[in-house]
């Protein structure tokens, strides 16, 4: 029986999905507006300490000032560059190493305890040592970002690869498929969505590495803005940095999300 995408039932189903998405988006916008409104009201009526919490109107004015001066653009561009580079390197090399572990069971057994220990280590606490080893410049910041995401990428991707149905692997082997053919035709297609979702997770982890490293050594970047604001007790600058950071992370997440939707449409 052939599936008809133009059938009345299917069209109605898609219409209902779109309505539900719009409702969810509306609720999200209302929650955000409500939060900002309550924050502003509480600050204006002195219910919360403006010195400690600032308020949306002050943060907005400071945002416009930094934006027009060009200082915000420079700091954001530097942090985004460091994060994107750390994300790409950490994710790509992590997946490559995971492929190597899947390829060689002996290698995976040898490296398993080391990877578990590395994953358990608090990488942010090791950031000062990493920066001393690599250097206090952009290289040190990027390497800190990589160190936080790469081990998680290796372990997660490897678990994805070995979780593929063993019967399907054996079936390909009976037809004489090589290891590379099994990976390319079965393992990778079965886990593409998982790897995209892993990239989404790595966005946050890469930002953590960059911000922590910028706290320690950088003279530019969003992390520097936040730590500088806290040092001089300029909390509106701190809050502005946090909001800008959230927006940048959200934009990167949405870009990967669009990639996932494009792949899903192409696949199905």
**HSE-CB for 177 with a 13 A CA cutoff:** 17
Mark whether 1 and 73 lie in a shared domain. no
Return the pLDDT at 10.
66
Same domain, 26 and 139: no
The tens digit of pLDDT for each residue in 105-160 reads: 899 999 989 988 888 888 777 788 888 888 878 889 999 999 988 999 999 999 99
Residue 264's Cβ-side half-sphere holds a number of Cα atoms within 13 Å equal to: 10
Give me the mean pLDDT over the 43-71 stretch: 90
Cβ distance 70 to 247 under 8 Å?
A: no
133 and 240 in a common domain: yes
Q: How many residues comprise the chain?
A: 268
Does 113 lie in the same domain as 4? no
Alpha carbon 53 to chain centroid, angstroms: 27
Q: Are residues 84 and 200 located together in one domain of the fold?
A: yes
Tell me which residue of 60, 59, 53, 146 sits closest to 97, measured CA to CA: 146
The answer to whether 107 and 100 have CB atoms below 8 angstroms apart is yes
Judge if 97 and 151 occupy the same domain: yes
d(CA 61, CA 67): 10
12 plus 81 within the same structural domain:
no
pLDDT over 70 at 1, yes or no:
no
Domain CATH number, residue 162: 1.10.3720.10
pLDDT confidence of residue 136? 78
Q: Which of 150, 40, 33, 10 is nearest to 91 (CA)?
A: 150
Per-residue pLDDT, 49:
87
Q: What is the mean pLDDT of residues 11-22?
A: 81
Q: Return the closest-CA partner of residue 206 out of 83, 112, 98.
A: 83
Range 167-178 average pLDDT = 87
**How many structural domains is the chain composed of?**
2
Write down the pTM of the prediction.
Answer: 0.86
Please tell me whether residues 30 and 153 are part of one structural domain.
no
User: When comparing pLDDT for 265 and 44, which is higher?
Assistant: 44
For residue 106, what are the domain limits?
Answer: 53-267
Q: What is the pLDDT of residue 4?
A: 57
Judge if 237 and 221 occupy the same domain: yes
Same domain flag for 16 and 143: no
The answer on 256 and 181 residing in a single domain is: yes
């Amino acid at each position: 029986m052939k599936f008809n995408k133009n059938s009345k039932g299917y069209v109605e189903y898609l219409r209902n999905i779109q309505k539900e998405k719009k409702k969810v988006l509306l609720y999200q916008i209302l929650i955000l507006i409500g939060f900002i409104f309550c924050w502003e009201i509480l600050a204006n009526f002195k219910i919360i300490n403006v010195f400690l919490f600032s308020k949306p109107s002050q943060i907005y004015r400071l945002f416009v000032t930094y934006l027009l001066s060009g200082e915000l653009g420079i700091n954001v561009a530097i942090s985004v560059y460091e994060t994107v580079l750390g994300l790409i390197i950490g994710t790509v090399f992590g997946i490559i190493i995971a492929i190597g572990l899947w390829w060689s069971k002996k290698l995976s057994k040898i490296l398993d305890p080391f990877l578990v220990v590395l994953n358990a280590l608090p990488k942010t606490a090791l950031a000062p040592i990493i920066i001393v080893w690599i250097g206090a410049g952009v290289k040190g910041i990027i390497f800190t970002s990589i160190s936080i995401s790469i081990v998680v990428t290796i372990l997660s991707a490897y678990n994805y690869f070995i979780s593929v149905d063993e019967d399907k692997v054996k079936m390909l082997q009976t037809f004489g498929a090589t290891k590379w053919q099994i990976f390319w035709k079965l393992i990778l297609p079965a886990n593409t969505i998982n790897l995209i979702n892993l990239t989404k997770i790595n966005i946050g982890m890469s930002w953590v590495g960059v911000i922590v490293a910028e706290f320690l050594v950088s003279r530019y970047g969003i992390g520097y803005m936040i730590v500088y604001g806290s040092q001089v007790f300029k909390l509106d600058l701190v809050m502005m940095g946090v909001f800008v950071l959230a927006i940048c992370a959200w934009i990167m997440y949405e870009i990967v999300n669009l990639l996932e939707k494009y792949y899903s449409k192409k696949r199905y």
